[in-house]
């Protein structure tokens, strides 16, 4: 369910019809470092979470799957 919600937001942000877990956010979806932060804000609002500053690391958010892992960390107890 988390993955579907993230995919929906990504498709909207990247104007894509489909996103794959291994798609590169920058090269495949055209989401640069500034838009990644916009995306994170959208995901925080969607999942009603607040990321720790340490997790705002573009180096560790390169592919779609990195987003699944990151958000899961905050939503799974």
Interacting residues toward other proteins by CB under 8 A = 14-15, 26-27, 29-38, 40-41, 53, 56-59
Pick 6 or 29: Cβ nearer other proteins: 29
Nearest distance in Å: CB 50, other proteins: 9
Please say whether the beta carbons of 39 and 6 come within 8 A.
no
Pick 2 or 37: Cβ nearer other proteins: 37
For the question of residue 32 being annotated catalytic, the response is: yes
* DSSP SS3 for 59: helix
The CA distances from residue 2 to 27, 34, 41, 65, in Å, are 23, 23, 15, 11
Tokens of 49: 């979470």
Pick 1 or 34: Cβ nearer other proteins: 34
């Amino acid at each position: 369910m988390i993955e579907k919600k993230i995919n929906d937001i990504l498709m909207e942000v990247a104007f894509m019809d489909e996103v794959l877990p291994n798609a590169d956010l920058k090269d495949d979806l055209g989401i640069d470092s500034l838009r990644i932060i916009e995306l994170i804000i959208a995901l925080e609002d969607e999942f009603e979470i607040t990321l720790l500053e340490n997790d705002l690391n573009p180096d560790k958010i390169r592919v779609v799957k990195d987003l699944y892992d990151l958000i899961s960390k905050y939503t799974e107890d």
